[in-house]
């Protein structure tokens, strides 16, 4: 895939600049480089991506639009362990104690929506709950519009909000998200 360095720079817009993009500069340009190469080779009409990487789906859609590719990007549900932890190869790097703490991430996302009436209260609830577990350190938690990924301060009628989170569990960085209907 890389007989020579790929120096292409993609203009992916705001969807690549917030959350993961802000904490991992250049990451999404690299994603766009490799996924576009794969699409050029395979020439798919559809490509399926897991919603665990929610922001990456938006980035790939932006890349498809920028390149004028006729690929439909299809999001697939997050696959979870029995205890709610989003499945990831990174989970294998968790110690037994960290593995016990990690499901609190998803539980906090779900419980906050059930307990709090507005987005700002939900954000505070998630932060407070996770800060009580010493093995967990929240890198970011944003609630964004499902389509535009614009950060939200309130629910918008007819639009879904998505709570997106990155948490260090010990030295392992885990991401997750939850869709909220208002």
CATH number of 142's domain:
3.30.1300.10
Tell me the β-bridge partners of 143: 163
**How far apart are alpha carbons 85 and 79 in whole angstroms?**
9
**How far apart are alpha carbons 119 and 126 in whole angstroms?**
11
Question: Is residue 104 classed as helix, strand or coil in its secondary structure?
Answer: helix
Q: What is the mean pLDDT of residues 13-37?
A: 95
Percent of the chain topping pLDDT 70: 100
Residues 147 and 71 in one domain: no
Query: Any idea which residue has 């709570």 for tokens?
Result: 163
Give the pLDDT band (50/70/90) at residue 117: confident
Domain boundary among 76, 100, 117: 76
**How far apart are alpha carbons 67 and 174 in whole angstroms?**
30
Residues 116 and 174 in one domain: yes
Give the pLDDT band (50/70/90) at residue 24: very high
pLDDT digits (tens, 9 = 90+) for 122-154: 999 999 999 999 999 999 999 999 999 999 999
Residue 94 makes CB contacts below 8 A (sequence gap 6+) with 102, 169, 170, 172
């Amino acid at each position: 895939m890389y007989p020579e360095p790929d120096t292409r720079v993609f203009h992916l817009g705001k969807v690549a600049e917030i959350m993961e993009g802000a904490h991992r500069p250049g990451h999404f340009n690299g994603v766009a480089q490799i996924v576009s190469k794969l699409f050029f080779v395979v020439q798919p009409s559809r490509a399926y991506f897991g919603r665990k990487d929610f922001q990456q789906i938006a980035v790939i859609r932006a890349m498809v639009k920028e390149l004028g590719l006729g690929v439909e990007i299809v999001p697939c549900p997050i696959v979870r362990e029995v205890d709610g932890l989003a499945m990831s190869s990174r989970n294998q790097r968790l110690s037994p104690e960290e593995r016990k703490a990690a499901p609190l991430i998803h539980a906090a996302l779900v419980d906050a929506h059930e307990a709090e009436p507005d987005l700002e209260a939900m954000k505070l609830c998630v932060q407070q709950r996770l800060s009580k577990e010493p093995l967990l350190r929240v890198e970011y938690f944003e609630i964004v519009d499902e389509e535009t990924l614009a950060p939200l301060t309130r629910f918008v009628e007819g639009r879904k909000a998505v709570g997106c989170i990155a948490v260090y569990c010990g030295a392992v960085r885990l991401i997750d998200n939850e869709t909220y209907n208002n």
